[in-house]
Each structure stands twice: as C-alpha cells, then as structure tokens.
Amino acid sequence: MPYRLIKKEGAARRGEFQTVHGTVQTPAFQNVATAAAIKGGLSAHDLKEIRAQVMLCNTYHLHLRPGDQVVADMGGLHKFTRWDGPILTDSGGFQVFSLAKLRHITEEGVTFNSHLDGHRIFMGPEQSMQIQANLGSTIAMAFDECVENPAEYDYAKNSCARTARWLLRCKAEMARLKHEGKAVNPDQLLFGINQGCTYRDLRVEHMKQIAEYDLDGYAIGGLAVGEPAEVMYDVISAVEPYAPADKIRYLMGVGTPGNIIEGVYRGVDLFDCVMPSRNARHGHLFTWNGIINIKNLKYERDEQPIDPQCDCPVCRNYSRAYIRHLQKADEMLGMRLAVMHNLYFYNHLMERIREALDNGTFQQFHDKYVHLLDSRI
C-alpha cells in the first residue's frame, strides 16, 4: 500500500506516501511546473534547494508543447527535466474546461480547440491516460469533467456519473498500457477525482462510489473556483469520512497558507497551487507575519531579508531593498528570487505542519497561523 498513516490529531493526518521515485512525507505541497518548469525560472536543481518533495506538470500543456511523444522519446519527464523526485501530472481536464474554446462534450470525451493555434483536439479518458503514460509521471490523474460553479443540480449530478464512468475507463486504459509495455513508468499510480460542485449530497455519493474502485489516491476537485472559503471547508468536511482512510487525499488547486492549514485540519494530505509563484511575480511575498508587497516604497532602503524568520537561499543573501529594485526594474532575477522565496515558504510551511503533528501541537499551530499567514502587512 503506497500510503501509510503514521498518526492523527483530530482529523489531521501525518503520513508518508511511497512511490517508485521516492517517499513523500505528508502533508505535502506539490510545486506547480505546468509546462515542466516553474514559472519564474526555477529548475529541478532549484527545487531541491527549496526543500520541494513533489513537482506537478500538466498533461494538456505538455501534449501541445513539446508533444508527449517528444517527452517519451526523451525518456519521460524525469529524464527530460532532471527532477528525480515524484511527479504528478494533472489529467488536462481542468485546462480543457477552462482554457479551451468551443468545446463539445460527449460520453466519449471532449472535442475542443487548442488555446494556442485553434486546431481541433479530442481528449477522452483513454487519450489522457496515453499522454500521461508517455510523460512517465509518478502519479497520473484521471480525466474528469470540470463543471462550472455554480452549476444546475441535475447537470452536476449527471456530470458526476459521467466522471465515474470515465474513471473506470482510465483505470482500464492504464492497465492496458502497462500490460502492453507502452508506459514509460510501469509503476505509474492513478488517482481518481471527486466532483459534485458545492452540493454536499452529490459530493458524498460520488466519493462513496469511486472509493469502491480501489485507486492509489483520491482527489477533491472543482473547488477553489470562486466559492467562499467556508463553503469549500464544508465540502471537505462532508466528503472526508467517505474517502478511504488507507489512501492519500489530495485537494486540487488549493490554496493560501490559511487554506492549506484548514485543509490539513480536515484530513487532507496533498495540495497544489500556482499562488506562491504567481503572487511572487507580482511582488506579493509570504512571511511568518503575513504577506508583504515588496514594491511598496517603505522597502526602498530596507536592509532586512524578506522574512527575518526565513532561512531560504534568498533570505540568507539578499535584502528587501535589492529585491524591490529588481522587481521595479523588471529584472528577471527579481522574479526568480521572489518565486524561490515563496515556494520555499510553502514547502517549509508543510515541514512545520508535519513537525506540529509529530509533536501533537497542530491545534496550537492552526490557531496561531491560520489567519495570520493570509493577512497583509
């Protein structure tokens, strides 16, 4: 069994997840490298420096550029990027439904126009599994329908049923690809995705259904798309009792440091979000006292590091004044250093969460930081 639960504090779980590319200490953050690179100029070597455990790449984007067959010919994502730790590939479902224009959904899959050049593409469960088999990721996500939120109840219900049928097709196709020797990584794992918008009954029924499919992990998808945070927390709490206790749980696309702390509090093990890198590129930097905007005039002559409590490579070497100058001057180094700091902060946040769980002090950690880390200073 890949997931091992070490201990619990309330619903919060301390565990580890064994993969062919290494063991992940959980709860953990997955660093988003959409097109096989962190936006902001960070390499696989940099990810090691900032204590990253998992890299996340995107099936849809890599299918378009450079092409999944190119990645396969280069030996898969691990050889291509030189990242030797676990890699999770998102199925492409979210991008198909968020980026693609003129999409047409049938039982077979989705036909849509590429957001790059407009050419027609078909993607269904089998195609998503074939692309991810070529990419050779550690973990493949099942292809699901991402419904707009809010959605009509009946549409959301039918969509859940379709996503469950697609999940069985994903499982069968992955087994076929492995059996026929067509998977770059023959030990690739498969996670299913729970959907149901913000309808608690649909969420619970869908999780009960897919829990029977004996997958390697279970994700909660379709949240953090505009609904209030409290609604998201309610959905997590409703679904959690029905997620298999012996399997890893992944909350997709979440979120702020406070969101992550609340997710852990409710039994989530894995997270991913573009927020640390995207915010960094705009000068919004995370610290243990809250969020600062490095472009503010008050940092013009500030010799302090971004966060005096941080020991990341950036805070060990550079001042707020210097990073402010770089960002104001649109120097690429300013973006790179900011992204490096924010991602280190997120990975270190997970380390501190794990430490608190190990020590039985996660409740105190939650109460101290859940609002503080999301506040602007």
Same domain, 265 and 332: no
Number of domains forming the structure of the chain: 2
Same domain, 195 and 307: no
Same domain, 92 and 27: yes
Q: Show the domain range for 151.
A: 3-273
SS3 194: strand
Cα–Cα distances in angstroms (integers) from residue 47 to residues 12, 279, 296, 306, in the given order? 26, 18, 28, 19
Query: CATH number, domain at 250?
Result: 3.20.20.105
Same domain, 106 and 7: yes
For the chain, give the percent of residues with pLDDT over 90.
92
Same domain, 45 and 169: yes
> Residue 122: is its pLDDT beyond 80?
yes
Same domain, 220 and 106: yes
Active site residues: 90, 272
Same domain, 64 and 120: yes
Same domain, 286 and 313: yes
pLDDT digits (tens, 9 = 90+) for 249-261: 999 999 999 999 9
> Domain end: 223, 240, 273, which one?
273
**What's residue 93's pLDDT?**
83
Cα–Cα distances in angstroms (integers) from residue 69 to residues 62, 74, 91, 262, in the given order? 10, 9, 16, 40
Same domain, 48 and 132: yes
**What's residue 149's pLDDT?**
84
> Residue 287: is its pLDDT beyond 80?
yes
> Domain end: 273, 306, 337, which one?
273
Please compute the mean of the pLDDT values over residues 10-39 and round it to a whole number.
98
**Spatial distance between the Cα atoms of 235 and 229, rounded to a whole number of angstroms:** 10
Band of pLDDT at residue 99, cut at 50, 70 and 90:
confident
Same domain, 175 and 40: yes
Please compute the mean of the pLDDT values over residues 105-116 and round it to a whole number.
92
Q: Is 192 exposed, middle or buried (0-12, 13-18, 19+ CB in 10 A)?
A: buried
Same domain, 218 and 260: yes
Examine residue 305 and say whether the peptide bond preceding it is cis (omega within 30 degrees of 0): no
Please compute the mean of the pLDDT values over residues 205-213 and round it to a whole number.
98
> Residue 101: is its pLDDT beyond 80?
no
Strand bridging mode 217-220 / 189-194: parallel
- Residue carrying structure tokens 């999770």: 88
Band of pLDDT at residue 1, cut at 50, 70 and 90:
confident
> Domain end: 231, 256, 273, which one?
273
pLDDT, the chain, mean: 96
**What's residue 96's pLDDT?**
79
pLDDT digits (tens, 9 = 90+) for 306-353: 999 999 999 999 999 999 999 999 999 999 999 999 999 999 999 999
Same domain, 62 and 193: yes
List Cβ neighbours of 140 (8 Å cut-off, separation of 6 or more): 89, 91, 128, 129, 132, 133, 170, 174, 188, 189, 190, 191
Outline where 266-331 has alpha helix (H).
275-281, 320-328
Strand bridging mode 270-272 / 28-32: parallel
Of residues 328 and 224, which shows the higher confidence score? Answer: 328
**Spatial distance between the Cα atoms of 377 and 373, rounded to a whole number of angstroms:** 10
> Residue 121: is its pLDDT beyond 80?
yes
Please compute the mean of the pLDDT values over residues 217-235 and round it to a whole number.
95
